[in-house]
Structure 1
């Protein structure tokens, strides 16, 4: 909190996602962080991409500008790659950012992912204020772990992001280690801050037991255990492992129902899901695809489920993990990336291995371990409930919004208080937008 006699800290945040319009891990983080900073007395301005009409959202101490690409950017987009289109949008961000800086005079600019780093650095240099980036994901080497070759243009952007000219926050110790190993970023420039959220909406039931029972009856009988997955339907997320493990679970517990809430984000992901539904057609009455749902509806699904799955081949952090835990669900997750830092094995859930593939090839979730962990929790309901309660407490203690906000503010203040000659980038260079 700002002291009564000091001016409030003012932050300008640049992002490609903001949850009310584009739901995803980055959008959730920016939404939670911006609102948490504002409630703590900071004055926060967010400039974020929107595919729709421009809009301005206002709350106390918080103004969010949702900005679509300019007509000039849109007219060129069809001829450009994804990365070059995003670079072009950074020019739009610079235009809007300059207006916000004239109005608000921020103390610091905080950008998220490589998508907005070019605009942030230009604006920071022009305004003479510190610039800070948060890394939510890394393409190299993570994408190779599920058989995808990273886009060379994205790797170029990542090398620029982690070039040592800008301090970086990463969302897990695992991510920090990958950044150091892959790009050699100095430990003095790298800060690990776990994601956090306003846990209240997930901690307390929002409906009566009778209402939850009616909702559950739409997908299962009262005696059918429900296993829930929420997230993108993408190879990274271990979707193939969900189907393969479900087959083993259903061979022993045929009454179990599997709910998958999420959508695909590419033609390849859509083809993967279509192939899985054909391959496992004999399970179609026990595995239900719900499509992509608003975040507020996920809390309803948590309340009618018995356990949650996060079987990712690699997860930088995993908001879906702490959302499920906050709702009281025991978790079965992979020991890979953020979930291994979130879940206490056999206390708040079960962690299963990710097996190495051939050198340089894709990894695999241990299907047998994934199935056995689910069966263990489904058969020992008392222990599952105990893990769910312990998980709720762990989210409150370690992954609540105040903790994340306070940690970000500590980094902010260090940068703001740093003498100008030390705050300057160690490698002087002009940022090229496109």
Structure 2
């Protein structure tokens, strides 16, 4: 929905559904922040949402009722801590364990452990020290280090996370690390012809092989490099179409300076007369559209491309595999593990494509 809606959302929902389906689990509750932003859907202002018999979503209200991007969330953490503790104090049954996703949630979980003695599991998903760029968010690094050191267990997805990313926080940060490779929910077959129909008015020959990329429009995902490689290669243009799903190009997304800059780079490179009919940069998409395009790329003999400068895990690699779609993926981070385990593509150094 916004630039903050990444693969971690699919991870959390998929893991929660799988845990709730277990015979030895009574209840799984996803706890998140409530906000009132009609353009993003009224459901986010719904305090309680039942997903299945054993799975629900609980949304916490604070005085700040509007949508907040992750960059603007830090100031709201103290209020969320208070709301979480109050919610737990009023519940009829305390949870047996709290699994915190990202360091923001770990702050809530650790305060709940201090008050109620509930064990805490932590999954960082994307650690600040593994991100590219000279600027380091020292407050976020401190919060991540605290979570790594104080959680009762740390659950990670790849060897790179366990052996490289967490190690950057010190040897003592690895003491409670466990690696559990995630899977993906069994895919629902896309309606026959749905992927072709989505692209028919954008591509001159939608039956050519498809180079497909799905990622948020942030610099680390390196989508601008993929666009430039395609634009600079007449041979590649002659053999395949390029389709990039770079988030939802709506007002909430455009408010983010980095996302706005990345989309501008993509448009400047791809929306030129020479590439008309060969590329597609859809401004919006649904989950069903993504599944249909995975299927379409596989049917046309195409590949999924992820040239991220660093990918902490790479859930899209698993999604591509579930659709029978081979990948060309970055060797920086988790995709190297996934490709080695599944054997459905190759890994390349993303820096080799940059000027």
How far does residue 365 in structure 1 lie from its aligned partner after superposition?
Answer: 4.5
Give the Cα–Cα distance (whole angstroms) in 2 for the partners of residues 252 and 315 of structure 1.
25
Matched, 1:161 2:152: no
1:235-276 CA distances to partner (integer Å, 9 max, x unpaired)? 111112211221244344435221111227521231233134
Alignment correspondent of 1:207: 191
How far does residue 132 in structure 1 lie from its aligned partner after superposition?
Answer: 1.2
Give the Cα–Cα distance (whole angstroms) in 2 for the partners of residues 348 and 249 of structure 1.
25
1:392-426 CA distances to partner (integer Å, 9 max, x unpaired)? xxxxxxxxxxxxxxxxxxxxxxxxxxxxxxxxxxx
Alignment correspondent of 1:176: 162
Alignment correspondent of 1:151: 137
Alignment correspondent of 1:132: 121
Alignment correspondent of 1:299: 291
After TM superposition, the structure 1 = structure 2 runs for residues 343-358 of structure 1, keeping only pairs within 5 Å, are 343-344=339-340, 347-354=343-350
Which of 212, 221, 228 is the equivalent residue of 1:228?
Answer: 212
Are the aligned partners of 2:230 and 2:237 in contact in 1 as well (CA < 8 Å)?
no
Alignment partner of 2:19: what SS?
A: helix
Give the Cα–Cα distance (whole angstroms) in 2 for the partners of residues 316 and 292 of structure 1.
25
Give the Cα–Cα distance (whole angstroms) in 2 for the partners of residues 122 and 252 of structure 1.
54
Give the Cα–Cα distance (whole angstroms) in 1 for the partners of residues 134 and 279 of structure 2.
26
Alignment correspondent of 2:182: 195
After TM superposition, the structure 1 = structure 2 runs for residues 264-343 of structure 1, keeping only pairs within 5 Å, are 266-279=256-269, 281=272, 283-285=274-276, 286-305=278-297, 306-343=302-339
Give the Cα–Cα distance (whole angstroms) in 2 for the partners of residues 206 and 27 of structure 1.
21
Alignment correspondent of 1:237: 221
Alignment correspondent of 2:42: none
Change (3 A) 1:262 1:222: closer
TM-score normalised by the chain length of structure 1? 0.68
Which of 71, 75, 81 is the equivalent residue of 1:90?
Answer: 81
Q: Unmatched 5+ residue regions in structure 1?
A: 1-18, 355-363, 369-434
Give the Cα–Cα distance (whole angstroms) in 1 for the partners of residues 287 and 233 of structure 2.
28
Give the Cα–Cα distance (whole angstroms) in 2 for the partners of residues 346 and 94 of structure 1.
42
Alignment correspondent of 1:218: 201
Are the aligned partners of 2:221 and 2:307 in contact in 1 as well (CA < 8 Å)?
yes
Are the aligned partners of 1:172 and 1:317 in contact in 2 as well (CA < 8 Å)?
yes
Alignment partner of 1:197: what SS?
A: coil
Alignment correspondent of 1:256: 240
Number of corresponding residues: 326
Which of 17, 20, 30 is the equivalent residue of 1:38?
Answer: 20
How far does residue 296 in structure 1 lie from its aligned partner after superposition?
Answer: 2.8
Are the aligned partners of 2:190 and 2:288 in contact in 1 as well (CA < 8 Å)?
no
Give the Cα–Cα distance (whole angstroms) in 1 for the partners of residues 86 and 275 of structure 2.
51
Change (3 A) 1:346 1:128: closer
Give the Cα–Cα distance (whole angstroms) in 1 for the partners of residues 222 and 95 of structure 2.
41
Matched, 1:27 2:9: yes
Q: Unmatched 5+ residue regions in structure 2?
A: 37-44
Give 1 or 2 for the bigger CA radius of gyration: 1
Which of 34, 49, 55 is the equivalent residue of 1:57?
Answer: 49
Give the Cα–Cα distance (whole angstroms) in 1 for the partners of residues 149 and 244 of structure 2.
39
Alignment partner of 1:308: what SS?
A: strand
Alignment partner of 2:111: what SS?
A: helix
1:62-98 CA distances to partner (integer Å, 9 max, x unpaired)? 222123x412x459x99x9642223432322222233
Which of 169, 172, 176 is the equivalent residue of 1:185?
Answer: 172
